[in-house]
Structure 1
Amino acid sequence: MYIRQTSGKYHSAIAGAIMIAVFLLLGTVAAAAQALQRRINRPLANPSLVDAFYRQRQGHLFWLDSTAAADDTPQQELVRIIKEEAPLQGLDALKYLSMLPAVTGDPEPGERLVYDRRFTDAALAYFGDLCAGDPRSRTRVGSDEISGKYEEIDRRHIISLLNGINNSMLLRATVAELEPSQPLYRALKEELQKQLELGDREKIASLMISLNNYRWFFHFGFKHFVVVNIAAAELNYFEQDSVKLNMRIVAGKPSTMTPRFVTYCDQVILYPYWNVPRSIAVNEILPFCKKSLVVLDILRMQVISSKGVVVDPKQLDWKKFTAKNFPYRFRQSTGCDNALGVIKFNLSSPYSVYLHDTNLKSDFEAAKRYFSHGCIRIQKPLELANELLDEKLDEQFLTASIRGQQPIPKRIAKPVPVFVLYMTADATVAGAVRYFQDVYDLL
C-alpha cells in the first residue's frame, strides 16, 4: 500500500512536471511565433525605394524569379556577402541582416511578396551604403548643401544596379565595383582588416567612420574638391580621386569648435576685410574699448554701423554699451596684419566660417593646431587659390601686403565642393594610416 501510494505520488509529480513543461514549451513556441510575426510585419527601412524598384519591374518579384540553382541563389549570396564582406568594408552587417525576412529559405506561398521585398530592402540599403557611405557616419555634419542635390541620382543608380543582377556571380562583381579603388581608401580598408583581427574597438570605430566618409565624397565623381579633416588639422585638395595638394590647417579650439559641414567655395577674396564675429566683438573687443580706444588703432579696427557706414569711435559713448545693446560691428582693415591674411575663400553655409590665410604663420608648426574661434586657417592659401581659379594670382602683389588695399573678389567659375569633416583615422598619400586624438570629444 505504501509502495502504491508512493508510486501514485511519483506519477502525479511526473504528470505535473510534464504539464508545466508543456505549458512552458507552448509559451516559448507562442513567444517565438509572436516574435516571428512581429518580424514579418515590421515596416521596411526604405519603403519608397523598394516601391520604386518594383514599379520599375512592373510589380514582378525579383529574388524568387531567379533561375539560379537552389544552392547558389542571389539571396544566399547576398546573405554571405553581408556577413563576410560588410564588416571588412566598414559597414554594420547587423543593419542589413535585421532587414531580411525571418526565414531565408523557401517562403510560404502567402509570404512570397513580403519575402521578396525584404530582401530588396536589405540589398538596396547595403548597395546604397557601399556606394555612398552609411549616413550614420556623418550624423555630426551640421549642414550639407550637396547631398540633397544627388539623392534622386543615387536612388536611380542603386535601383538600376540591383535590377541588372540575375545571378550570384554578377552580384559579387557589382559589390566589388561599388567600392572606391582610390589608394587612400584601400589603405584604410587594409588597416581595418588588421584592426578587426587585433580587436581594437576604438580604432575600428574610427576607421569605419573614415571609410564611409571616403565612399561618400568619392561617389559624387567631382573633378575637383576640398576635404578638411578637423581631427588631423589638415586639408587635402583632390583632383579626380588623387590628392594634388596637402597642407596643414589651424582649426577651432575645443571651446569654439569648427563646425562640420559640406558646401561650395564660390569666391576668393584678395585683401579681405575681417568682419569680426559678434561673439568676439562684444566679449573680447568691446571691454577693451570701454577702457581705451587704443586697441582699435593697434588692431586697425573700424567701427561699422548697421547701414555699413564707418563711424568715428571717438564720437561714441562707449560706457553705455553692453554685450546686449551694442549696435555696431568691428571690421579689421586689409593688409599683412589682418587676421585673415591676404586671401579668403568664401564658403556658402549657415556658419560664419571660411578658409583663409593668416598673419600667424608660426601656428602651423605646432603639433596640435586648435587655436581659432572656428574659422579654418590654411598653410598654403596662394597654392589653393591658384588651383581653384582660372587665372594665376600675382604673388608679388600679395606678398607686398599693401595696407589699406581695397578687397578684390575673384569669382570661381564652377564652385568647388568643400567637405569639412571630423575623422580620427586617415591615410597619407604614401599609404600610411594615422590616428588622431578626439580633440572635440565627439566620438
Structure 2
Amino acid sequence: MLFSRLNVWRKYFVALLLCFKVIFPLGAFASQGNDIAYKLALSKELADVGAALEFYQERRFEPIWVGRSRDARKRLGALFAAFEDSAAHGLPHGLFDARAIRNNIRSIRTSVDLGEVEGKITRTYLQYAQMIQFGVVRPGAVDEEIKRKRSKIDQRSYLTNLVLSDAQAFFQSVYPQSREYARLLKEKERLFGIIARGGWGAPVTGGKLQPGDRAKHVVSLRNRLIAMGYLERTLTDRFDADIQRAVQAFQLDHGMAGDGIVGDGTRAELNKSPEDRLAAILVAMERERWTNFERGNRHVLVNLADFSAKIMNNERIEFQTRTVVGTNKDDQRSPEFSDEMEHMVINPTWNVPRSIAVKEYLPAFQKDPNAHGYLNILDASGQIVSREQVDFVAFDENTFPFDLKQPPSTRNALGLVKFMFPNRYNIYLHDTPSKSLFAREVRAFSHGCIRLQDPFDFGYALLSVQSRDPKGDFHRALNSGVETVIPLDKHVPVHLIYRTAVTKPTGGMTYRRDIYGRDAKILAALVGKGVVITPLAR
C-alpha cells in the first residue's frame, strides 16, 4: 500500500539519495549569513510572506533547504518524498514538483540564485502545508451554503517545528491525523487497484429484479456483486437468498431501504463505476481537511447527506437517530457549519422566521384571513393583533409589519422540544409533528432546520452527563406544559457536515447521494485546481 511505513521510508531514501547527487558551486554557499546579495534575493522572494521572512531573519538567513549540512539534505529529501506523494492526497497534480526543484538547485551559480531558490522552496513548502492541512479550495467559494472558513497554518511554527524535528517524521504528521482520513487514503489506494484491473465488470442489466427471478440479468447482478465484494463466488443464475442478502447489504451501505429488490435506484448505485467512487473519496478527503480541527471528545454529528444525527463519545456512537433536513431549494437547504449546543427548550414557542412568514403565510392570509388559525399575529410591541383588524392585502413581503408565533402544543411545528446552538443562520435541531416523513428514504423536507425522529431520547442522552434522572427531569418540564429552558452544564460541540463517502471503522465504505449537488461543485473546483481523478495521479 502506498502509505505503508516501508514505502514511505523507501521514497524518503530515494529522494535523499537524489539530493546528494545535486551539485552546488562552492562559491554560492560561502558565508550566506554575511552575503548581502543572498539576503536581498531571499528577502525579495519572501517579501509577501512576513512570517517566513521573520523566521530567516531570526536565524541570520541560514538556509534550511539548499545547504551543505546533513540536516538540510535530510530536510530536502523529506520534502521531495512528500511532494511526490502529494497527488495521492488529492492535491493538484504537478503543483508540488520535486523534479523542478532539483533542476532549480542544479542551476544555482551565484548567491542571488541561492537566495531565490531557497525562498521559492520555502514558499512552495508553506503552500503544500496549507493545502494538505486545510484544503485545496475555499469552502464558501465553492458553495455559499458551506459556512466554513478554511483555517490557515501558522507559517512561523511550521518552519520552526520543521527545523527542530526529524524531517521525515515531521512530514508524516503534516496531513490530517484523523482515522477517517487514514481510512479514506486506504480506500483510495484500493480503488486505484480495482481500476487498474479493469473495474467491476459489466453493468447490471434488465428491469426490476427480485428473489426467485432467473435470467441473464440475474447473472449480470451476480457478477457485479461478486466483483464488488458483496457475494461469494457462485455459478447460480437464480436470484436466491444469498443474492438477496448481498443486495440488502449493498443497499444499506448506500443509504437505501434494504428490501433486497433491485429497482431503478439500486441499479443506478450498483452501476456507479470505481472512478465515480474514487471522485467521492477525493471530495471526502478535501472535506476532512476542511474540518481538520478538534471536534470534541463528545459532540453531536449531523450528516446532512446521510439524514442522521449522532452523539459521538470518543469516536463511538453514543446515540443515533434519523433526521429530516432542508429541502433542495434556495434558502431552504441546510447549511454546513460548527457551533456549540447550549440548551434545550421544552414546550417551545415557534417564532416563525420572517422569510417563511412573508413568503408562505402572508399569501395564505391574503386569500383567507382565518387561515392557519394556530398562529398568533403580533405587532411591534409584542401584543396579539386580531386578524379582523388587519387588511393583509395591503401588505407585501417588504411592508408586512407583524411577527407570527405558534404557542407550545403537540401541533407546534417544532414539536415538543428544540435543541439550541445559537447561530446567525437560525438553524437548530427539533422535534416535529410530521412523523411520517422519517419513513422516507430521502428526507429533505424542512426549511433548513434539522428534525429528529427520536428527540426525547436525544434529550435524555444529552442530560445523562449532568443528571441522575435525565428522563424524569425532561418529563417534569414537558408535563408542565410551560416553555422551559434546560441549560447544558457543559456545552456540546455540534458539527453539521455533508459526507457522501464515509468509511466504516471495521472496514469498507458507505456512500450517499449528493442531494444538494455540493460534492459535484467541489469536484469541479478540485479539477479546476489541477487535481486528477485517475490512478495516474500516483
TM-score (ref. length: structure 1): 0.75
Is residue 295–residue 493 contact of structure 2 (8 Å, CA) maintained in 1?
no
Q: In structure 2, what is the Cα distance between the partners aligned to 1:326 and 1:345?
A: 29
**What is aligned with 2:466?**
391
Structure richer in strand, relative to its length: 1
Instruction: Tell me the residue number matched to 1:345.
Output: 419
2:81 is matched with which residue? 80
After superposition, the Cα gap between the structure-2 partners of 1:311 and 1:98, relative to the gap in structure 1 and judged at 3 Å, is farther
Deviations 1:227-283 (Å, cap 9, x if unpaired)? 332222223433344444333321111112112333333332222211112222122
Aligned AA (2:299): F
Counterpart among 509, 520, 524 of residue 433 in structure 1: 509
User: Distance between the aligned counterparts of 2:177 and 2:74, measured in 1?
Assistant: 28
Q: Tell me, which stretches of 5 or more residues in structure 1 are unaligned? A: 1-39
Q: 1:341–1:429: structure 2 CA closer, same or farther, 3 Å change rule?
A: farther
Which residue type is aligned with residue 466 of structure 2? E
Query: Any stretches of 5+ residues in structure 2 without a counterpart?
Result: 1-41, 197-273, 521-538
Q: Structure 2 vs 1, CA of residues 385 and 91 (structure 1 numbering), >3 Å: closer, same or farther?
A: farther
Rg comparison, structure with higher value = 1
Give the fraction of aligned pairs with identical amino acids, expressed as a percent.
24
**1:254 is the counterpart of 2:328:** yes
Question: How many residues are matched?
Answer: 394
Q: What SS is found at the alignment partner of 1:186?
A: helix
Mapping for residues 221-260 of structure 1, pairs under 5 Å? 222-255=296-329, 256-260=332-336
1:94 alignment counterpart: 94
CA shift in 2, pair 1:243/1:178, >3 Å: farther
The residue aligned with 1:272 is 348
Q: Give yes or no for contact 1:138–1:213 (8 Å, CA) kept in 2.
A: no
1:368, distance to aligned residue in structure 2 (A):
0.7
Q: Does 1:381 align with 2:383?
A: no
Q: CA deviation at 1:370?
A: 0.7
Relative to structure 1, is the Cα distance of residues 409 and 46 closer, same or farther in structure 2, using a 3 angstrom cutoff?
farther
In the alignment, structure 1 residue 296 sits paired with structure 2 residue 372:
yes
Residue 201 of structure 1: how far off its partner (Å): 4.5
Report Cα offsets for 1:316-372 as digits up to 9, x if no partner. Answer: 233433333211121111132221122222233321222222222332221111111
Instruction: Please show how residues 119-130 of structure 1 align to structure 2 within 5 Å.
Output: 119-130=121-132
The question of 1:285 aligning with 2:287 is answered: no
Counterpart amino acid of residue 371 in structure 2: V
**Change over 3 Å in CA distance of 1:136–1:340 after alignment to 2:** same
Counterpart of 2:184, as a letter, is L
Aligned-pair CA distance for 1:284 = 1.9
CA distance in 2 between counterparts of 1:135 and 1:258 reads: 21
Q: Match for residue 162 of structure 1?
A: 162
Within a 5 Å distance, the mapping from 1:95-244 to structure 2 comes to: 95-97=95-97, 101=101, 103-106=103-106, 107-109=108-110, 110-136=112-138, 139-140=141-142, 142=144, 151=152, 154-155=154-155, 157-165=157-165, 170-180=166-176, 182-197=178-193, 198=195, 200-220=274-294, 222-244=296-318
Alpha carbons 1:342, 1:398 under 8 Å: kept: no
Distance 1:380 1:190, change over 3 A: farther
Return closer, same or farther for 1:158/1:217 CA change in 2, 3 Å cut-off.
same
1:172 corresponds to which letter in structure 2? Q
SS of the equivalent of 2:114 reads: helix
Q: Answer whether contact 1:223 1:239 (CA < 8 A) is retained.
A: yes
Partner of 2:248: none
Cα distance in structure 2, aligned partners of 1:63 and 1:54: 12
CA 1:190–1:353: 2 relative to 1, 3 Å = same
In the alignment, which of 403, 407, 410 is matched to residue 486 of structure 2?
410
Match of 1:311, SS state, is coil
Tell me what 2:264 maps to: none
- Distance in structure 2 (CA, Å) of the matches to 1:56 and 1:220: 31
Question: Is the partner of 2:173 in helix, strand or coil?
Answer: helix
2:315 aligned with 1:313: no
The answer for the alignment partner of 2:400 in structure 1 is: 326
Q: CA deviation at 1:101?
A: 4.6
Given the superposition, is the C-alpha separation of residues 386 and 329 from structure 1 closer, same or farther in structure 2, using an over 3 Å criterion? same
Q: CA separation of 1:99/1:205 partners in 2, compared to 1, >3 Å: closer, same or farther?
A: farther
Within 2, Cα distance between the matches of 1:58 and 1:268?
57
CA distance in 2, matches of 1:191, 1:123: 27
Q: CA deviation at 1:400?
A: 8.6
Matched-pair contact (CA < 8 Å) for 2:83–2:98: no
In structure 1, how many angstroms separate the alpha carbons of the residues matched to 2:44 and 2:93?
19
Query: CA, structure 1 residues 123+224, in 2 after alignment: closer, same or farther (shift >3 Å)?
Result: farther
**Residues 286, 251 of structure 1: CA spacing in aligned structure 2 closer, same or farther, 3 A cutoff?**
same
Distance 1:400 1:359 in 2: 21
Contact 2:86 2:96 in 1 (8 A): no
Aligned counterparts of 1:99 and 1:139: Cα–Cα separation in 2: 32
Are the equivalent residues in 2 in contact too, given 1:141–1:262 (CA < 8 A)? no
Q: What is the alpha-carbon distance in structure 2 between the residues aligned to residue 380 and residue 179 of structure 1?
A: 37
Work out whether residues 375 and 405 of structure 2, in 8 Å CA contact, stay in contact via their aligned partners in 1: yes
What root-mean-square deviation, in Å, do the aligned CA atoms of Structure 1 and Structure 2 show? 3.7
Q: What displacement does 1:86 show?
A: 2.2
Contact map agreement 2:346 2:478 (CA 8 A) in 1: no
CA gap of 1:295–1:396, structure 2 versus 1, over 3 A, is farther
Write the distance in 2 (CA, Å) between the matches of 1:41 and 1:58: 12
Q: Which moved more, 1:270-279 or 1:426-435?
A: 426-435
SS in 1 for 2:348: coil
TM-score by length of 2: 0.63
Q: Which amino acid aligns with 1:318?
A: F
Q: Distance in 1 between matches of 2:310 and 2:411?
A: 26
C-alpha distance in structure 2 between counterparts of 1:352 and 1:99, whole Å: 51
CA contact (8 A) 2:51 2:156 kept: no
